Amino acid sequence: MAGTYSLAACLAEGASAGAEAAKLAGCGDGRIRFPEPQVEEYPEQPAQALFLVPHTKATSRAPSQFVDMQLDVSASGIELAVREGFKSVEHIKRYTAMGFGTDQGKLGNINGMAILASALGQSIEQTGTTIFRPSYSPTTFGAIAGADVGALFDPERYTAVQRWHQEQGAAFEDVGQWKRPWYFPRGVESMQDAVSRECLAVRNSVGILDASTLGKIDIQGPDAAEFITRMYTNSYLKLAPGKCRYGVMLKEDGMIFDDGVCACIGDNHYLMFTTTGGAAGVLAWLELWQQTEWPDLKVYFTSVTDHWTTATITGPNARKVLAKVCADIDLANDAFQFMDWRDGTVAGVAARIFRISFTGELTYEINVPAHYGRHIWEALIAAGEEFDITPYGTETMHVLRAEKGFIIVGQDTDGSMTPADMNMDWVVGKNKTFSFIGKRSLQRSDSVRENRKQLVGLKTVDGTQVLPEGAQIVFDPEQKIPMSMQGHVTSSYFSSNLGHSIALAVVKGGHGLLGKTVYCPLADGRSIAAEIVSSVFYDPKGERQNAE
């Protein structure tokens, strides 16, 4: 470190430093107590490149002079490789293991190549260099982390209406990477107060939801219908333009992977809706099967989630609100039925409107290019003012869909549920020639056994008690631990529309246990009694979503 190169001088410096340290520690007078080394035995040499230093030849038995300290590669080892007939620098590297260490040759390879060049009787340029793998130059941890730090570690995604939601004092929750309005408190309202108000507004008049975060995948190509039919459990081969169809997607094991609506936009053109959190996974799933299993199918996928703002208006007065800002679409029930879609103009903006419902009410999902998002949103708010239109968030959406028994993939399912478990056999195509991913697995003995966990509704005996989500379900609350668990609660809310709490749960053989009383033990030793009922608590015939 001091720039001293000869061995004699280095030894002298070391002895002097040691004696001085001993003196400072009170262990001596600073004098060196051993004979000074004979300087003439270590003549001074000018600094020079390591590969120019005379070294032991491969024929000598003298100690090795190492070139690569990590892999113990010596100069004589390189010369031995040349004697063995190796001439390529890449072959020498593999014969000796030179540069195989964590430094990837940055410390020793240049010297080794120069020694090789000398042994071959040629220049270093003629000999060449090995390929240096990353990182050849030092790399900082900051460069490795890139932008994935602080607030950018998991980037937040916002819809075009984000600022409006903030201005209204919305509370937000994370759904995937999206910030979604959770509920809209007024004044000193608690979360439950706000959600109850929003739920009642939707059922009794009209509410508006920012549904822009739902995954949207544009699918085109001459084989689009065939491909979609293989992905979902039901067929899309005869779905006409202007029509939509709900579908469930399975993994190879027959378990529910995602669900959503797929609309036929035109010949060889479809728009697939996915769950908010499942959008990226579904797109990757489609690409995987198209590229690796069915490359012969001509079909192409484009994520268009960010392209559209989706304003969902739902409730008995939804049609009246839409009619005030849309004059070029016949909104009559016969002309625009449930699960139809239409192109039109809303508040002066070209829009695509879907009549789809996740609340069980008359609903229109209005899609416009994202840069018109806030304009459309405010136009709908103004049009619905006379009906006391109420913005609502994801918590209200969850309550409303639970009242109808609609599942949320990932909450009411856990990767081990089939459509039959969810009481959704109606969504599985029965045509024997019709095939889809996971079909064969639905017939496995484990998939059809009677005591599988199945979706049911729970109505607490005391309607004011709300079951904790995740609570275990038992038949006998007095059974000693370990108790025999029969299932668990997947979704649980207080329903202001029904006047009591409701819950969805999966219970072993639950479809055959309607009317049976079960119990949910709590951590404090109490247990809550509930009756197993249908998972559809509200409007079981679906009359409201088909309203005239």
pLDDT band at 12 (very low <50, low <70, confident <90, very high): confident
Q: What angle do CA 455, 458, 461 make, to 5 degrees?
A: 165
* Identity of the residue numbered 146: G
Distance CA 204, CA 198 (A): 10
Nearest to 170 by CA among 370, 380, 390: 390
Q: What pLDDT was estimated at residue 141?
A: 80
Distance CA 263, CA 367 (A): 13
Yes or no: say if 244 and 338 are a contact pair by the CB < 8 Å rule: no
Distance CA 164, CA 325 (A): 20
Average pLDDT, the chain: 91
pLDDT band at 61 (very low <50, low <70, confident <90, very high): low
Yes or no: say if 250 and 436 are a contact pair by the CB < 8 Å rule: yes
* Identity of the residue numbered 279: A
Distance CA 276, CA 214 (A): 4
Of 106-120, 122-136, 338-352, least confident by mean pLDDT is 122-136
Whether 279 shows a pLDDT value over 60: the answer reads yes
Whether 144 shows a pLDDT value over 80: the answer reads no
Q: Is the pLDDT higher at 334 or at 101?
A: 334
Q: What percent of the chain has pLDDT over 90?
A: 74
Q: Classify residue 37 by its DSSP letter.
A: P
Q: Is 514 helix (H, G, I), strand (E, B) or coil?
A: coil
* Identity of the residue numbered 147: A
Rg (CA), the chain: 36
Q: Max CA-CA distance within the chain?
A: 112
Whether 136 shows a pLDDT value over 90: the answer reads no
Domain ranges of the chain: 7-127, 162-213+309-401, 215-306, 449-548
CATH, range 7-127? 1.10.10.1100
Q: What pLDDT was estimated at residue 40?
A: 46
CATH entry 3.30.1360.120 includes domain 162-213+309-401: yes
Q: Which contiguous run of DSSP H or E holds residue 164?
A: helix 162-167
Q: Is 357 helix (H, G, I), strand (E, B) or coil?
A: coil
Distance CA 412, CA 83 (A): 71
pLDDT (tens digit, 9 = 90+) per residue, 309-368? Answer: 999 999 999 999 999 999 999 999 999 999 999 999 999 999 999 999 999 999 999 999
Q: What pLDDT was estimated at residue 406?
A: 97
Beta strands 256-266 and 244-250, pairing class: antiparallel
pLDDT band at 42 (very low <50, low <70, confident <90, very high): very low
pLDDT (tens digit, 9 = 90+) per residue, 427-451? Answer: 999 887 889 999 999 999 999 999 9
Nearest to 115 by CA among 149, 77, 85: 77
Distance CA 246, CA 508 (A): 27
The full DSSP string for 444-456 is SHHHH-TTSEEEE
Nearest to 213 by CA among 391, 373, 372, 402: 373
Check: pTM over 0.85? Answer yes or no. no
Whether 259 shows a pLDDT value over 50: the answer reads yes
**176 to each of 181, 238, 282, 369, 422, how far by Cα in Å?**
13, 33, 13, 22, 24
Of 105-109, 396-400, 521-525, least confident by mean pLDDT is 105-109
Q: Beta-carbon neighbour count of residue 57 at 10 Å?
A: 12
Q: What percent of the chain has pLDDT over 70?
A: 95
Q: Beta-carbon neighbour count of residue 254 at 10 Å?
A: 23
Distance CA 412, CA 112 (A): 63
Distance CA 178, CA 165 (A): 13
Q: What pLDDT was estimated at residue 355?
A: 98
The full DSSP string for 235-283 is --TTPPTTBEEEEEEE-TTS-EEEEEEEEEEETTEEEEEE-TTTHHHHH
Distance CA 510, CA 131 (A): 64
Q: What pLDDT was estimated at residue 30?
A: 66
Whether 407 shows a pLDDT value over 90: the answer reads yes
Q: Is the pLDDT higher at 207 or at 548?
A: 207
Q: What share of the chain is helix, strand, coil (3-state, %, to 5)?
A: 30, 25, 50
The CATH superfamily label for domain 449-548 reads Aminomethyltransferase beta-barrel domains (2.40.30.110)
Distance CA 466, CA 422 (A): 22
Whether 86 shows a pLDDT value over 50: the answer reads yes
Yes or no: say if 185 and 169 are a contact pair by the CB < 8 Å rule: yes
pLDDT band at 132 (very low <50, low <70, confident <90, very high): confident
Of 13-22, 322-331, 390-399, 463-472, least confident by mean pLDDT is 13-22
Q: Which residues contact 313 (CB under 8 A, 6 or more apart)?
A: 206, 207, 208, 321, 322, 363, 364, 366, 380, 384, 389
Distance CA 185, CA 84 (A): 82
Whether 147 shows a pLDDT value over 80: the answer reads no
Beta bridge partners of 244: 263
pLDDT band at 274 (very low <50, low <70, confident <90, very high): very high
pLDDT band at 39 (very low <50, low <70, confident <90, very high): very low
Q: What pLDDT was estimated at residue 265?
A: 98
Q: What pLDDT was estimated at residue 511?
A: 96
- For domain 215-306, the CATH architecture is 2-Layer Sandwich (3.30)
Distance CA 474, CA 486 (A): 5
pLDDT (tens digit, 9 = 90+) per residue, 484-494? Answer: 999 999 999 99
Q: What pLDDT was estimated at residue 222?
A: 97
Q: What pLDDT was estimated at residue 240?
A: 97
Q: Which contiguous run of DSSP H or E holds residue 502?
A: strand 500-508
Q: What pLDDT was estimated at residue 135?
A: 64
Nearest to 514 by CA among 455, 432, 446: 455
Q: Tokens 């409303």 correspond to what residue?
A: 400
- Exposed/middle/buried for 461, CB within 10 Å: 0-12, 13-18, 19+? exposed
